[in-house]
Amino acid sequence: MSLPEVLFPEIVQYLDETDLARLARASRALHIHTENLRYRIVTIRSFHGLLSFQEGLRATRPDQRGRTRRQRLQSVYVGWESPSANDPQVGSALAFILDNLAPKVRLELQITDAHPSSRPRDTWNVSLQHYGASHSHLRASSWVLQHCRSPAKNLVALTVDLLSTQDHVLHRISHAFDDTLQDLRLFRRFPSSPRNQSPIRICATLSVRSLRRLFIEDSCDGGVDVGLDDEDFAVRHGYALLPVAADGVPSLEVLVWRPAWVRSANTNLVEEQTSRYQHEIVNVLDPVIVVVPISANQGSVMVGKGGRERSATRSNLARYRWMHQ
């Protein structure tokens, strides 16, 4: 190489995993230099990529710092939309990866069936029983969780992408993560009007005794004003969720909810609805802190039953920084 070796690490550190892999095949010298930077933050977007990553993890030769590929891993994203998600090889490869990840590696699973309305005869089941340690964080699509066959006893943080409110997925979460899950983040997408949007419904469906923090962020394909006048108050409509909600999440300390309609330009109605929902949630789940962030710099916080509602500034919202992670 004509490039001085001392400058090489400074240049290649800006390349992503794909470019590093291509560069490593150019020569033996380049392979040695790039290996130190590979297999740190890995993104897999195809069935072929999953199998290739599985094969790469089998390598045991250390880099110049004495670390294997498995030891260098920081985060792994696995995600694509394809009928191959039903291929049994996907389950086999994913099981191998789960068994070979170090405890602190962040894992994100977004594999979905390309035809969610269809019911394939054979679907792979993901086993989570060997994954995670005390600080592990998993992000998964609702499709993946539906095919989770075993509890993940050591997992404390989970992020799930939901279509609307899927009760069967919430039941699966309760089964798989009841003992140790402390942080749950739900990203709900409503295809039209966000009916049944109250967080109390989620708490009533869950049964996670260890849950301390619940973050819910909603989006709606119909626009930011849809659902602003669609009230879903448990007390007003008298549905039997009040005692069940408190029993399902007895350790809950903080509930952060960002409805789709907080982005509406009708600020007066947003403030009115925010206050109504906060009072109801606090009355049902007390003692709990209810946070409704409107933006990075503005929001509303209510602390405990009878507690005063107050505006949240950027510094106040920073306390709940975990909700953006």
DSSP 57-73: HT-----TTS--HHHH-
* Interval 263-314: pLDDT, tens: 888 888 888 888 888 888 888 888 888 988 877 677 888 887 655 555 554 4
Averaged pLDDT, 203-219: 92
Contact 317, 300 (CB under 8 A): no
Contact 197, 225 (CB under 8 A): no
Of 16-20, 24-28, 48-52, 146-150, the range with the lowest mean pLDDT is 146-150
Averaged pLDDT, 180-193: 86
Cα distance between residue 287 and residue 308, in whole Å: 13
Give the global pTM: 0.74
Burial (0-12, 13-18, 19+ Cβ within 10 Å), 303: middle
**Confidence band of 135 (pLDDT split at 50, 70, 90):** very low
Averaged pLDDT, 189-204: 83
Averaged pLDDT, 9-30: 78
Ranges of each domain in the chain: 1-38
Task: Note the pLDDT of residue 118.
Answer: 45
- Alpha-carbon Rg for the chain, nearest whole angstrom, is 23
Q: Smallest Cα–Cα separation from 32: which of 5, 3, 71, 2?
A: 5
Task: Note the pLDDT of residue 255.
Answer: 94
Task: Note the pLDDT of residue 314.
Answer: 45
* Interval 67-113: pLDDT, tens: 888 888 888 888 876 555 556 677 777 777 777 777 677 778 776 65
User: What is the sign, positive or negative, of the torsion defined by CA atoms of 43, 54, 82, 181?
Assistant: negative
**Residue 115: count of CB within 10 angstroms of its CB:** 13
**Confidence band of 323 (pLDDT split at 50, 70, 90):** very low
Cα distance between residue 77 and residue 75, in whole Å: 7
Which tokens sit at 184? 């749950």
* Interval 112-127: pLDDT, tens: 655 444 444 445 566 6
Contact 146, 168 (CB under 8 A): yes
Flag whether pLDDT at 186 surpasses 90. yes
Strands 309-312 and 299-303: antiparallel
Which tokens sit at 28? 């033996």
Average pLDDT, the chain: 77
